[in-house]
Amino acid sequence: MFSLEQSAALFNPYAALAAELLPHAVAGNDGSHDVAHLARVWKSAAAIQAEEGGDRTILAAAVLLHDCVMVEKNAPSRSQASRLAAEKATQILTALEWKPTVIDAVAHAITAHSFSAGIPPETIEAKILQDADRLDAIGMVGVARCFYIAGRLGSGLYDPADPRAEHRPLDDKRFAIDHFETKLLKLASGFQTMAGARLAATRQDRLRRFLDEFLDEIAVT
């Protein structure tokens, strides 16, 4: 395991802020929402911010705290996860005596980042966080996270009788591969920034290529 100092360095030039917030940032033992995920989201967010603008401190805090409350993917309250995380982030930053207006901006970005929450992002920081978080759900990392989560939840890889769901409803709670059509392949069309959309197009191609090659390998001949 990385030390706090090593983990914080992944968020340069906000290592000091990361060292302060990381102890509050990761809830549970979900390897798809761990420090590595936060670091990848920060890398994408920083790249998008360099083109799109926005307040980097607000963005860094929102990235660090956007998953600070854990709600399992199959939990009935899943759509409330981002709101709960925003509430916890507000408490954390209030205790650290951040300005209320800045706290509100961080909280909005966290609330609006979630796909399942369906809340439109109203600020550039919120748009960037949503894009950066969704980038981590597509491409090769998205593939890995999809199967990791399916394993945690006890799903099968695919329906051997009908892997393409040609004669059955898609069911990503039972079959991991169904999650590509129910969610992952839809994400690229909803990006908020031009920089994010450009990065998403590349990862979308990788995601589609993986799915095509996976289905080819399991095809019955």
Residue 221 has pLDDT above 60, yes or no: no
Retrieve residue 29's tokens: 């033992």
pLDDT value, residue 163: 95
0.85 surpassed by pTM: yes
Is residue 163 in a domain? yes
In the chain, count H helices and then E strands.
10, 0
Same domain, 152 and 186: yes
pLDDT value, residue 81: 84
The closest of 178, 145, 185 to 162, measured between CA atoms, is 178
* Torsion 204-207-210-215 (CA) sign: negative
Q: Which of 60, 90, 119 is the last residue of a domain?
A: 119
Same domain, 90 and 154: no
Q: 114-161: per-residue pLDDT in tens?
A: 877 778 999 999 999 999 999 999 999 999 999 999 998 899 999 999
Q: Give the residue-averaged pLDDT of 165-175.
A: 95
Is residue 126 in a domain? no
Is residue 130 in a domain? no
Containing domain of residue 52, as a range? 1-119
Q: 2-36: per-residue pLDDT in tens?
A: 788 899 999 999 999 999 999 999 876 777 788 99
Start-to-end Cα distance in the chain: 45
C-alpha–C-alpha distance, residues 153 and 32, integer Å: 12
Residue 201 has pLDDT above 80, yes or no: yes
Is residue 6 in a domain? yes
pLDDT value, residue 26: 83
Q: 62-90: per-residue pLDDT in tens?
A: 999 999 888 766 555 556 788 999 999 99
Same domain, 110 and 151: no
pLDDT value, residue 77: 56
pLDDT value, residue 220: 64
Same domain, 20 and 90: yes
Side chain identity at residue 122, one-letter code: E
Q: Give the residue-averaged pLDDT of 172-192.
A: 93
Same domain, 158 and 108: no
β-partners of residue 156 are 175
Same domain, 108 and 207: no
Domain count, the chain: 2
Side chain identity at residue 199, one-letter code: L
Same domain, 107 and 57: yes
Q: Which residue has the higher pLDDT, 71 or 106?
A: 106
Retrieve residue 27's tokens: 């809830």
Same domain, 100 and 141: no
Same domain, 144 and 110: no
Q: For position 221, which CATH number holds? A: 1.10.3210.50
Same domain, 34 and 115: yes
C-alpha–C-alpha distance, residues 181 and 185, integer Å: 6
Q: Which of 119, 153, 172 is the last residue of a domain?
A: 119
Is residue 16 in a domain? yes
Is residue 129 in a domain? no
pLDDT value, residue 37: 93
CA distances from 167 to 65, 159, 162, 163, 210 (A): 42, 11, 7, 10, 22
Same domain, 100 and 7: yes
Is residue 128 in a domain? no
Same domain, 87 and 163: no
